[in-house]
Each structure stands twice: as structure tokens, then as C-alpha cells.
Amino acid sequence: MIRLEPFTPDDFNQLIEWINDERLMKEWSGSLFSFPLTEESLVWYLEGANDFTRPEVFVYKAIDSKTETVVGHISLGSISQRDNSGRITRVLVGSQAERGRGICAKMIKALLRVGFEELKLHRISLGVYTFNEAAIRCYLKAGFQQEGIMRDVARHGDEYWSLVEMGILEDEWRAMQAPSAPSETTCC
């Protein structure tokens, strides 16, 4: 089980340790931050975050409930009160050893619960680089639909990266939460 708690200055050093190379920084943050990640840039990142009275962005650390260890980072931003929408950004399973063990899916599930239940959003979107096949599979499994590809949106060194745009609507998410109805052919 993954629990989300607000990301605070006490968590800065852990995130800085995880983002240990320029390519990972670009994959995680797009062009929001420059490498190396610093405490000063993270202070700016948290300005106005995690305020339910004025929701614009929520920045979380992900905690493994069994071990009480911080295992990841995730945020929900671009929140539009008018459109009842938000965008998942900066998803990271911190330790390389923890990747591929289902933590990302649990983080996404927890954040969708915040977005759809607590914030009453109608739509949540995200973007993921086309080469990040594990993340794409994770998001599809969580119920996101692929909506298109934005070609060559980011440049890293001599290569250009394309972005898969994905989204999930409130009714799609709710349908996934509903317990399966018993089949009519099920016998006592």
C-alpha cells in the first residue's frame, strides 16, 4: 500500500539524491528544473503547493505503508477549477532497485483518488515520453487512454523526444473502482 503525504523541505535531500543525472532530471521534470537539482529550486517548486483552500498544485512524497519508507515522488498540478481538470507531473519511483515492482501503479492510484474524490475533478491528464514504455503500460493499466503523440517536443543532447498525451475521465475511473457484478451464469 502506498500513502501520499505532502512533500516538504525535509524531503529535499532525498529527491536530490534520487535525481542524480541530467537525463533523469529531464525525464522527470521536462524543462522545469535544470541539473543539478538544488534546494533553492525545490523551495520555488513548493510555493503555493498543497493548499486545499486554493488548489493549484499538490506535491507529494509516496510512502510504503509496510516499511514507512519514502519510495517516490508525484505531483498533481495545472488544476483548473473552471474545467475541473488537473495534470499528473513529475512521477518518480526513487530507488532504481524499487522500479518495476508496482510502486508507480500504486502512486497513480492514490493520486487519482485525491484528484477524483477529494478535488472532485472531471479529467486528469499526463504526458510521458514515448521511450518510457514501462510508465506507459502503468498508466494504461490505471485506466488512462492514449490521446495522441506530440512529436519532438523536447531535446536532450542530439536527440528529440516525443510525448504521449494520456487522460482519464472521472466516470472511467469510477467504473474501475466499482466491484464487478456477479455474472448471471454464476450458480449458487
Predicted confidence at residue 54, as pLDDT, reads 78
- What is the rounded average pLDDT of the residues 74-80? 96
Return left, alpha or beta for 39; rule: phi > 0 is left, psi -120 to 50 is alpha, else beta.
alpha
Residue ranges of domains in the chain, CATH in brackets: 2-122 (3.40.630.30)
**Tens digits of per-residue pLDDT, 151-171?**
999 999 999 999 999 999 999
Among residues of the chain, what percentage have pLDDT more than 90? 82
* pLDDT tens readout for residues 114-156: 999 999 999 999 999 999 999 999 999 999 999 999 999 999 9
Select from 141, 103, 127, 147 the least CA-distant residue to 2: 103
- Chain-wide mean pLDDT for the chain? 91
Asked whether the beta carbons of 159 and 169 are under 8 A apart, the reply is no
pTM recorded for the entire structure? 0.90
3-state secondary structure of 187: coil
The span from the CA of 73 to the CA of 66, in Å, is 17
Q: How far apart are CA 130 and CA 107, in angstroms?
A: 20
- CA distances from residue 108 to 1, 45, 65 in whole angstroms, order as listed: 12, 20, 15
Please compute, for residue 141, the number of CA atoms within 13 A of its CA located in the half-sphere on the CB side. 14
